[in-house]
A and B are shown apart, each in its own frame.
Chain A
Amino acid sequence: MTGLVGRPVARVDGRAKVTGAARYPADNPVPGALHGFLVTSEVAKGEVTDIDTSAALAHPGVVAVLTHRDMPRLTVPSFPYPKGFIPMQDTVIHHVGQPVAIVVAQTVEQAQEAATLVAVRYRTERPRVVIDDAAGAPYLPPPFRNRPNEFKRGDATAALAGAEVRVEARYSSPARHHNPIEPHATTAQWDGDRLTLHETTQGVHFTKSTIATAFALPADNVRVVAPYLGGGFGAKGPTWSHTMINAAAARILRRPVRLVLSRAQMYTMAGHRAEFRQQIRLGATRAGKLTALLSTTIAQLSNTEESIFNSSESARLLYDCPNLHVRQEGVRLDVATSSYMRSPEMTAHFGLETALDELGWALDLDPVELRRRNHTEFNQETGQRFGSKHLLKCYDMASEAFGWSQRKRRPGATKDGDEYVGWGMATEMHTFGAMPSTASVTVGPDGKVVLRIGTQDIGTGTYTIISQIVADAMGVPLDVIQAHIGDTALPVAGLSAASATIASVSGPVDRAARAARDAVVGLAVADERSPLFAVPADEVETRHGHLIHTRNRQRRDSYGAVVSRAGKPVEATGSGPNLPGLSYGVVFAEVRVHARLGSVRVTRVVTAHDIGRVMNRRTARGQVIGGVTWGIGHALMEHTVYDRNSGRVVNPNLSTYLVPVCADAPPELEALFVDEPDPGSTALGARGFGETPITGVPAAIGNAIYHATGRRVRDLPITQDKLL
């Protein structure tokens, strides 16, 4: 064992990324490719009555302008395609920014300019785009992928009525967009009825099946390539309609076509976090034991799709509470379909963790102690004991590091110069998925190891961690390993979303690597020419690329020598069952609120997480830094604004849709980990972790602001005008 797993190994793809050697999907030169640009609907509701393409067609370099009149009939795929319809199949307009035509030209500039010359006429109706304007009452949508939207345990209403202490409050958060730095890009290249896509996707195999369904092709006719991704945060989890429209254009024109969305188009074409309302009612004993938990949420849905993504897992699973009623309602509006955005569960978790803080104040009970009193070792829905859950240890570690015991038990009690100082905390929790995956490992005559798996690295460190796993499993140094991912020509793996990548791929990669190792050892001990001939296989150790007889360390061979004598590369595959689960943690935050101006700074954050085995301290810490920063954005500034009259997004750019900048990040951030391998894990003791470290951040900040000022803000984002 070289023991790389668990160490803070630097990203193996880091150099390629910073030197520009890494080729992102839109960087890939495709000879002869034309450039597409979408013309999108200016109105939110109505119908296209006329499209005049003549001026655009006359523009230099323009090859075609395609509209609904030209599109082939496509099949609307079900999940993971979350849009419910494919644009340009008919004339109906469901939302602002819906594609109505695609201009294809020799250059990007020509396509963009010609797009401004397409004259579209609409019949339009006044849209409804925000929850306040919804026509009907919120309703309970049907189950989404077999998961119901209503959950009941015990008798929550009766328990609430009889509770010694009650807290009832309403919370809200606005719509928000993912805003990865890399815009969505797709290049479609047809060869007969075989299609290759260079695609910005978080799941090459998911894109493949979605596109194959849309075009009614055998799945294996579609190849999707995405070796690197410039951020996704869920936006690139689904395959969106622009990919279909572009592929259709390439097919019609019999030429490869590349399409890159503009920043503004990313606000209407690739999902968002739905605008959200929540009512929480908690019943508890005077000792702080929860007796009733009722949560009703309302999400902004589109007219074409009713999946609820901002789901309420933490209300259902995090705390011990015998009486529960969760309803996940929605209202249908004339907006583009929402989808999942980096921790969809965070949205409703904000309400739960804020309500618990409010309960703590109502009981005059420390919020950490309140959470301890409601801690559970049992899955609230199945009744089974969790195999491994170290949340209590997280509370200990982080509160100790933060100095929580020094906290003043009165809001507004600490002032430093012009600022009130406040401390707040929230528990963190997120589910993680696990998807069937297969890996293959090949050892060449040069001793080089090639790992092939159709997963992807969305910036979280997949390349590095799977290389660490192979190095440990085979006893080879990192620099002989080449990981190939992000291509459907590689063995099937799952989507890099739902915090599922590590949980899905680690086991199969490890099994493939061990099988390859065993195969090479087997060859060596059976080969008369090997110094290890006739040594029992279990007496062979592998280290630094060598095979060594443990009883006589002079007797050794190497991967390269064994395979080269064998005359052909050694290949092995690994797959196997993967299990989903839960990851936990806690976040403590210190804020400073200007006494007269209301401006908020987050000055200190300490987190502790239980994520099973920590595969790589550096990438795990990176995930915490990203999650905390993302949480600060959600707590204090991020906000997509819809014009209620037109349905248009008013701030579709990074100048007016504010995301945190470096100066908003806390100057002090400590990320602690329990680092206890989970015995139930199918991923070498690890659990999924991508989204957990954002879940509690907005609530922790809001709770800290309350502690600082005595002001409870229940509607995000908490901008300074709310604290004047």
Chain B
Amino acid sequence: MRSFGYASARDSADAVRLADRTPGAAFIAGGTDLLNLMKDGVQHHRHLVDVNKLDLARVTESASGLRIGGLARMRQVAEHHAVRARFPVLAEALLASASPQVRNMATIGGNLLQRTRCGYFRDIGSACNKRVPGSGCSALQGWNRGHAVLGGSESCIATHPSDLAVALTALDASVHVLGPGGTRRIPVGEFYRLPGDTPQIETSLRPAELITAVEVPRHPTATRSRYLKLRDRATFEFAVVSVAAALDLRGHFVRDIRLAFGGIGTKPWRSAEAEAELRGKNLTVERVEQAGRVLVRGAVPRQDNEFKVELVQRALAELVLGLGGLR
């Protein structure tokens, strides 16, 4: 790890000012990802701006929905009564993430900006376009069991590891930021970018922009929402495949549905096409299977991750049929 400077910001404006003024600066919140990346030499920052003192940790509920401060801790959000009662997919996605110790430290803003778990990205001895643009992608011809089957390019096929982001994608959340140019509100669907030939650019965040809050709109689907995460050990692991589903049902009739997926795409994956197979119709096993086939249309499996194409369809069926009372 290289030495770095450190300053603790007083408030949001101060944080943005400090970050803007110092080239190569980064915010540090819980530090649960950033410090690992710095220790492993994956990222270098000459300066860290500590945002832990900012008054951005509140979770509030209003008529329009939920507002989660960018510095709220994962544990705090997962335990919040309004989250558990009216946005259960969020609580489930958070509780399925990391470990209690990590969740005590880790923040919502940091969670959305955590970097991929692609082993080549985190090993500075390996070629990786995301870490060193133009150096090549070791995963394409290497070990890619954990990698994406959707949204990849010949530059990068890494998944985004956040479970929370998958749930927020299903809930049509948006990210509030404060930057040198003022505030912006970015729908989560536009927040993450596909790798294309610039996999080093993962989000639409601009330099020195601070995540101040995440807003989750109230919606009839949100209360009947769930998260299913499949992985290689019982807990404390990233998703092999995950599904967030939110469903507005009357009897078996699907008035509305939102579906998002983790582990299969290079960003949290929303499938409007799969939703369309189910919206405005009665929920049946056949329709759910059809939605699964539509979801993976165009999937590009690689040597080690072909199974994800099948597994995600089964996970989708499991979750949606369970939510619909058919399983």
| B-binding residues in A (CB < 8 A) | 42, 96, 109, 112-113, 116, 264, 596-599, 601, 636-637, 641, 643-646, 648, 650-653, 655-656, 658, 660-661, 663-664, 719-721, 724
Contact = CB atoms under 8 A, between A and B. Distances in A.
B314 A596 contact: yes
Contacts of A720: 230, 232, 240, 311
Interface of B, helix, strand, loop or mixed by DSSP: loop
Interface in B118-158: 119-120, 122-123, 125-126, 138, 141-143
Contacts of B138: 643, 645-646
Contacts of A42: 125
B117 A655 contact: yes
Contact of A597 (B117, B125, B230): B230
A641 B139 CA distance: 12
B317 A596 contact: yes
Contact of A651 (B2, B40, B119, B311): B119
A358 B141 CA distance: 36
B307 A661 contact: no
Contacts of B311: 597-598, 720-721, 724
A695 to B, nearest CB: 22
Given A596-B314, A650-B123, A721-B307, A661 B235 contact: yes
B310 interface: yes
B237 interface: yes
A650 B119 contact: yes
B6 interface: no
A652 B117 contact: no
Interface string B106-123: 000000000001011011
Contacts of A645: 138, 141-142
A648 B123 contact: yes
Given A641-B143, A643-B120, A661-B234, 15 more contacts: A112-B1, A596-B314, A598-B311, A636-B233, A643-B143, A645-B142, A646-B142, A648-B123, A656-B117, A658-B233, A658-B237, A661-B233, A664-B233, A720-B311, A724-B310
Contacts of B40: 264
Contacts of B197: none
B90 to A, nearest CB: 22
Contacts of B233: 636-637, 658, 660-661, 663-664
**10 A-B pairs with the lowest CB-CB distances in the bound complex, closest first:** A663-B234, A721-B307, A650-B119, A42-B125, A663-B235, A664-B234, A643-B142, A650-B143, A641-B143, A661-B236
A641 B123 CA distance: 13
10 contacts: A113-B3, A597-B230, A637-B233, A643-B142, A646-B125, A658-B237, A661-B236, A664-B234, A721-B240, A724-B310
B125 A599 contact: no
B172 interface: no
Contacts of B2: 113, 116
Contacts of A264: 40, 123
B230 A601 contact: no
Nearest to A722: B307
Interface residues of B, number: 31
Contacts of A597: 230, 311, 314-315, 318
B237 to A, nearest CB: 6
B41 interface: yes
Contacts of A599: 230
B42 to A, nearest CB: 12
Contacts of B3: 109, 113
Contacts of B307: 721, 724
Contacts of B240: 720-721
A646 B126 contact: yes
B142 A650 contact: yes
Given A650-B142, A650-B143, A601 B317 contact: no
Contacts of B117: 655-656
A648 B125 contact: yes
B41 A644 contact: no
Contact of B314 (A636, A652, A661, A724): A724
Given A597-B315, A643-B138, A643-B143, A637 B232 contact: yes
A68 B117 CA distance: 35
Nearest to B234: A663
B232 A719 contact: yes
A643 B317 CA distance: 34
Contacts of B315: 597
Contacts of A719: 232
Q: Which of B119, B126, B236 has the most CB of A within 10 A?
A: B119
B314 A113 contact: no
A86 B317 CA distance: 56
Contacts of B237: 658
